[in-house]
Amino acid sequence: MRFKPHDRVIELLVGQSLYTTSDHAIRELLQNAEDACELQRLKDSAFQPEILVRYSSTENWVEVSDNGLGMNSEAFEKSFAAVAAPKEEVSHIQELLKQGGTRQIAYFGIGILSCFGVADAITVNTKMDEHEPLAYRISGYTEEFKEIPEKLSVRGTTVRLHLKAGGPMQAGHAPDSVRRYVRHAEHVVIEDVDTSKREPLPEQWCGADRPGVVTIDDPAVRSGVLALDSSWEDNSAPQSQLLICNGGFLVTANEQQLLPQNAIGYVGELDIVPGELSILISREGFQRDEGWTQLGQRLTVLYNRLIESQIAQWRSQVDVGDRLSDGATRGILLLLRGPTKDVLQESLIDALASLLPRVLRVKVAPANKPASAASVIERAKPNGVLYYLREDQGPRKFQQNIGQASTQVQITEVLQTVELRTSHLVAKGHLVVHCAKKQFNVNFGGSTQRVQLHDADLLSGLCQDAGVRWVAVDEATPEEVRLEAANQSLLVTQLLGADSEIKLTRVHSDLRVIRDVSGRLLNCSHPEVREILRALPDAVGNPIKRVLLQAYMDLDTWHIDNARKRIRQLLVAPDLSEQAQLSTGKYLREYLEEQLESLLSEDHSE
């Protein structure tokens, strides 16, 4: 007797390419042992299952023993030695399964063959009640089964793997492998033969200790739990972990494709009823078929229930005046504005939207003291407008081309009035808020992605709902920020014959010329500008001084060619000395002094 399928099929099953772990043989033997115990339970309702995993590091072997049904010659030939043959083809197994209405976890033949990826030889001992015991040593998947004299005297099966020296799995790996795979079978014991130490394995549940955990009641699930992970409370990146078992044994340690990919921050474990989902031949996952999809949809409903409960908890905290943790605030933002919103029911979106203005906090100028969006909008309602600054946005820049004969030079001017505009708006009783960008690293479907949100975008919608204008500080009109040109600006422009209006203003700043969104402003509070304005009434009547003033203003407005022409004309004028003697008339000078007085007065400052 030997394994019977085509050699190419055997090579596939024996090779490591079918599996992602080197200890898959342990899982296969454990599942076969559990199936044998389940068959005996169907035969005897008082049966108490026992599975013992023994290993010897000194001799480098691992064996799995069970007190289950055992095999007779029919089961051994039709199931154990027939690759991929279902156990149901064995007559007595078929009757037991039909009687119990259950399915088996594993298929004999597939799992045993996979053991040759880590073992040089396999020893099998088995006995079924009222049948003769069987015992074989198999020295390779192409070799004949050799009968051995050592046989069991009691019902059950023992399979020993004689591991390859230096192979992918060693006997010392067995304890960790068994602990990982055995999740919900408390009748499994590990024994170190070298030390005689025994270790029973308790049942393990991922997420069972989380607050608000719910039990999964589903026809495809023997038992299971689902909860939200701790990132909803602390400031850690939201993670998702879902363990899936089949008949009590681990299949996948972190399944990310059962719930929707955009569902975040959950933890749990499912133990699938054997046969309810189509397991892969590698036993490391399930087929993505209709049964899988429907289970995912039912779990998505449960996930929504968990989120609903979490929202209710957040609301109760906010209602009594408690500040939510950073993790909770982040959770509300991610659920409402991140990809997860596509997973949530509409009622939950509405509940989150009602919480947003109460939990979103922004800094209010000038002290940058944090305040809730709800309070800021309420305070802005009397004026009907709320101004904002984006902290991540650099100052606006303006490009200017300067012509110098045949050469074109480009300069960049930077907006210089953000602080001035903010202080003026605050002085007039307006609210100005600083809006920051928020970045969150989130695990979606097993990969970490960055979700970016911005206070400005969040507040914009809230202001719109409240009927409050939402205006950027640099979009406020000159009149609103008191950076408008003084009335005398046009007069000075006409007197000097400038190509464009010379805008005069008065602000507290060390800058002589200030670049605002509305253009350049000549700051009359600056000593140099004040000096020029004092000289203006006398200078406009003198052709030479007037040309010099015009050139001065041309330079301030980057009209370099104009300034050069004016100065050249002055230098080559034949009557330069006569022009130097001319002066402004008395009445014009007095008129100009009167017009400029308000700009030059010391007490006229913002």
Least confident of 43-52, 222-231, 255-264, 499-508: 499-508
- CA torsion through residues 84, 85, 86, 90, sign: negative
Tell me, what's the pLDDT at 508? 82
Nearest alpha-carbon partner for 185 in 112, 268, 245, 96: 245
- Give the mean model confidence (pLDDT) for residues 393-414: 79
Query: Which amino acid would we find at residue 281?
Result: I
Contact in structure between 473 and 389 (CB atoms under 8 Å) = yes
Give the pLDDT band (50/70/90) at residue 606. Answer: very low
pLDDT digits (tens, 9 = 90+) for 162-179: 999 999 999 999 999 999
Residue 156, CB-side half-sphere exposure with 13 Å CA sphere: 17
- Give the mean model confidence (pLDDT) for residues 531-546: 88
Q: String of b and e for 471-486 (b: at least 16 CB within 10 Å)?
A: bbbbebebebbbbbbb
- Give the mean model confidence (pLDDT) for residues 115-127: 94
| Domain 7-200 bears CATH identifier 3.30.565.10 | yes
Q: Which residue has the higher pLDDT, 465 or 394?
A: 465
Contact in structure between 137 and 68 (CB atoms under 8 Å) = no
Least confident of 197-201, 256-260, 282-286: 282-286
The answer to whether residue 333 scores a pLDDT higher than 80 is: yes
Tell me, what's the pLDDT at 3? 53
Least confident of 5-9, 171-175, 534-538: 5-9
Could you tell me which residues are beta bridge partners of residue 191? 54, 198
pLDDT digits (tens, 9 = 90+) for 404-421: 667 777 888 888 889 989
Give the pLDDT band (50/70/90) at residue 605. Answer: very low
- Give the mean model confidence (pLDDT) for residues 213-239: 92
Tell me, what's the pLDDT at 265? 94
Tell me, what's the pLDDT at 127? 97
Tell me, what's the pLDDT at 16? 52
The answer to whether residue 17 scores a pLDDT higher than 70 is: no
Tell me, what's the pLDDT at 430? 95
Tokens coding 360: 């979103």
Tell me, what's the pLDDT at 187? 95
- Give the mean model confidence (pLDDT) for residues 44-55: 96
| pLDDT winner (highest mean) among 379-388, 438-447, 487-496, 548-557 | 379-388
Tell me, what's the pLDDT at 411? 83
Contact in structure between 599 and 505 (CB atoms under 8 Å) = no
User: Average per-residue pLDDT in the chain?
Assistant: 89
Nearest alpha-carbon partner for 123 in 249, 29, 193: 29
Nearest alpha-carbon partner for 27 in 114, 103, 104, 102: 114
Tell me, what's the pLDDT at 401? 79
| Domain 205-357 bears CATH identifier 2.60.40 | no
Query: Which amino acid would we find at residue 596?
Result: L
Q: Where in the chain is the domain with CATH 3.30.565.10?
A: 7-200
Tell me, what's the pLDDT at 9? 55
Give the pLDDT band (50/70/90) at residue 141. Answer: confident
Query: In percent, how much of the chain has pLDDT > 90?
Result: 57
Tell me, what's the pLDDT at 2? 59
Q: Where in the chain is the domain with CATH 3.30.230?
A: 205-357
Tell me, what's the pLDDT at 108? 47
Tokens coding 98: 């039909």
Nearest alpha-carbon partner for 326 in 233, 242, 430: 233
The answer to whether residue 189 scores a pLDDT higher than 70 is: yes
Q: How far apart are CA 243 and CA 383, in angstroms?
A: 55
Tell me, what's the pLDDT at 371? 95
Tell me, what's the pLDDT at 149? 94
Tell me, what's the pLDDT at 382? 96
What interhelical angle do 373-380 and 455-466 show, nearest 10?
50
pLDDT digits (tens, 9 = 90+) for 206-215: 999 999 999 9
DSSP string covering 486-536, please? PTHHHHHHHHHT-SS---EE--S-S-SEEEETTEEEEETTSHHHHHHHHHH
Residue 199's CB is within 10 A of a number of other CB atoms, namely 13
CA 33 to chain centre: 42
Helix (H) or strand (E) holding 313: helix 290-319
pLDDT digits (tens, 9 = 90+) for 475-519: 998 888 888 888 899 988 888 877 788 899 988 888 899 999 888
